[in-house]
Amino acid sequence: MPSLAITGAAGAIGSLLRTRLREDPGTDLVLLDRVPLTPEAANETVHTVDLTDGPGVAAALKNVDAVVHMGGIADEAPLADLLAANVLGTHNVLEAARLHGIRRVVLASSNRVGGFHPNSHVTTPEEPPRPDGLYGVSKVAAEALGRMYSDKFGVSVVCLRIGSFEERPSTVRELSTWLSPDDCVGFVRAAVAADTHFSTVYAVSGNKRRFWALPPAAFYSPSDDAESLGDGIDGELEPLAPQAGHFASAEYTERHL
């Protein structure tokens, strides 16, 4: 691809993608973040821009082939903040894609759009959302924007419902929800290249205990399993408890109301 943009390039996943994807032959990276960045390679261009700045986002995304949208707030927060960063920010990225005819937008959604499904249930992207908090609600809205821009304006969108992105699992829940760094990069590469117009995919490693359905192997087959790194993590999840774990508790959201 001639040019790939990454929003939220200073974040945990954005930083990983930056270092891995700039090594892909023929790829030029356009990096966006509200935190000032410095180019680290000849094939990097950086833009300091807040995603709520629609004209600034559109200017930064001009002439790119695809966008991996990782920017935004990644956890529970006041609703007004989430609406600005996650919903308006996503709208601005999609609107730039519409204006510039960008081939593909990969949206960072979250497993927490369905956090109230029970642990005993294998959840698919086709099921109704059951967000576990305000953050999950903002990601439901972001997915809906992606669907609307796909249906109405022909923008090609892949929504990745990202699992627990960590170097290694550290809790019983993460034995089900872990997304390894290697699989994270693999899912993003697959989402950029997929032969689809609109898709929603759970991005999770091939964990033996996972409770989210994996995409077809033709899309991507994860290579890691949390079980192989689970020594010292003991216990089982309550079958009828929410998949979101403590994120689904009332207290987790009440502090932001």
For residues 79 and 222, what is the distance between their CA atoms, to the nearest angstrom?
Answer: 34
Choose, from 135, 149, 220, 252, the residue flagged as catalytic.
Answer: 135
Q: Are 43 and 28 in contact (CB under 8 A)?
A: yes
Coil, strand or helix: which one is 144? Answer: helix
144 CB neighbour count, 10 Å cutoff: 14
Strands (E), 122-197: 157-162, 164-165, 178-179
Structure tokens at 218: 């033709």
> Does residue 135 have an active-site annotation?
yes
> Residue 255 corresponds to which tokens in the numbers above?
């502090």
In the chain the first and final C-alpha atoms are separated, in Å, by: 44
Q: Which residues contact 144 (CB under 8 A, 6 or more apart)?
A: none
Catalytically active residues, by annotation:
135
